[in-house]
Amino acid sequence: MAKGKMCVTGGGGYLGSWVLKLLLSNDYAVHATVRLPGDAKYAHLNQLEKASDNLKLFKADLLDYDSLCSAIEGCTGVFHVACPVPSTTVPNPQVEMIEPAVKGTLNVLKACLEANVKRVVVVSSASAVSWNPRWPKGQIKDEACWSDKEYCTTTKNWYFFSKTEAESEAFEFAKRTGLDVVTVCPTLVLGPLPQPSVNASSLVLIKLLKEGYDALENKHRSIVDVRDVAQALHLVYEKPEAEGRYICTAHSIMARDLVDKLRSIFPNYNYPKSSFIKVGEEDMLSSEKLQKLGWSYRPLEETLVDSVESYRKAGILD
C-alpha cells in the first residue's frame, strides 16, 4: 500500500530523478511532471523500483497553470524541483530563466494551495544565498544571508537573480496564504547520473576530466552529492519542525585540490595543466541548520568515484 501521494516537478531531471527514486523506495505513490511523457529521455524513470505500480508521469509546463493542477491534484506533498539551469549564457534571460523560475514557482504554489497540499518543498540554490557583497568578510554565510538582487543584475548573474527572486516570492506567497513552504538551497550538486543526458552541474566535473585546460581559476568549490540533496528534501518534508530555508552543502575544496584528488583516484584523464590562477575571496557556507534536523552526507571520494563511474558507463568520457 502506498503511503500517500507526492508530486515532483521536473521529475525527469538530474535531481528530480533521484527524488523520485527515494520517494518510491519509501512507498509513496508519485506524480512526476515532465515535458513529454513518451520521450525516450525519460525511459530511465520506468526502470525505477516500484515505478510500474506507483509512478505516474504528467505532461506539464511551469508556465501552464492547468497542467500543474492536474499533476498536483490529490497529492499531500509537493517537491518543486523543476527549474531552468543554463550551461551556457542565455540571450534572453527574462524569457529563458527569470519567468520560468519566478512565475513557474508561483504557479506551482497556487496549484498546491488549490489542492490543499500539506507542505511544499522548493528547491532553491546556494546562488540565492551567496551573492551578497555587503555580508561581512570572512563571516560564514548562513540562512540569514540572501543574494543581493541588484548586485546579481549589475553583474549579469541571471541564474542567481532568478533563484533569489523565486525563493523570496515563494516565502511571500506562503506568508500571504498560510501555505507551508520550506526551501532547500544546495551548492554544486555532483554524483552519479540517473539519466542518459548530462546536466549543467555535472559538466563542471566532466570538463575537469576531459578538457586538459592550460590554466584554470583556482576557485573554491562547495560540493554536495545529489543523493544527499534528495535525502535533505525528503527530511525537510517529513520533519514537522522544519521551517524556512536550509543551506545544503557538504564539502569545501579548492579547484587545484579537487583535481589532485581526482588524479590520485583516476590518473588517466586529461586534467588541467599545472597552472592555477588565484581568484577572489572564498565563499564559506554552513549547512549546520540542516544537520541539526538530522541530515548527514557521504564522503567526497564516494561522490567523485560514483560520478566518474557513471560518466564512464554512459560513454561521456570517451
- Give a yes or no: residue 210 inside a domain: no
Task: Tell me the β-bridge partners of 109.
Answer: none
d(CA 265, CA 271): 12
Residue 214: the pLDDT is 87
- Give a yes or no: residue 211 inside a domain: no
Give yes or no for a contact between 246 and 289, defined as CB atoms under 8 angstroms apart. yes
- Give a yes or no: residue 107 inside a domain: yes
- Give a yes or no: residue 310 inside a domain: no
pTM: 0.95
Residue 121: the pLDDT is 98
Give yes or no for a contact between 125 and 163, defined as CB atoms under 8 angstroms apart. yes
What grid cell was written down for 248? Answer: 545544503
- Give a yes or no: residue 144 inside a domain: yes
Q: Give the CA distances from residue 163 to residues 10, 36, 147, 160, in Å, rounded to whole numbers and listed in that order.
A: 16, 25, 9, 5
Length of the chain: 318
Number of domains present in the structure of the chain? 1
Residue 99: the pLDDT is 86
What grid cell was written down for 315? Answer: 560513454
Residue 280: the pLDDT is 72
Provide the domain limits for residue 176: 5-189+224-249+282-298
Residue 97: the pLDDT is 83
Q: What residues act catalytically?
A: 163
Task: Tell me the β-bridge partners of 190.
Answer: 225
- Give a yes or no: residue 87 inside a domain: yes
d(CA 247, CA 128): 10
- Give a yes or no: residue 271 inside a domain: no
The CATH number of residue 74's host domain is: 3.40.50.720
d(CA 49, CA 278): 46
Residue 87: the pLDDT is 57
Residue 33: the pLDDT is 97
Residue 86: the pLDDT is 62
**Which residues of the chain register pLDDT less than 70?**
1-2, 84-89, 281
- Give a yes or no: residue 169 inside a domain: yes
d(CA 234, CA 124): 15
On average, the pLDDT of the chain sits at 93
Tell me the DSSP string of 37-91.
Answer: TT-GGGHHHHTSTTHHHHEEEEE--TT-HHHHHHHHTT-SEEEE------SS--S
Residue 273: the pLDDT is 85
Return all residues near 254 (Cβ < 8 A) that are at least 6 apart: 218, 219, 220, 221, 282
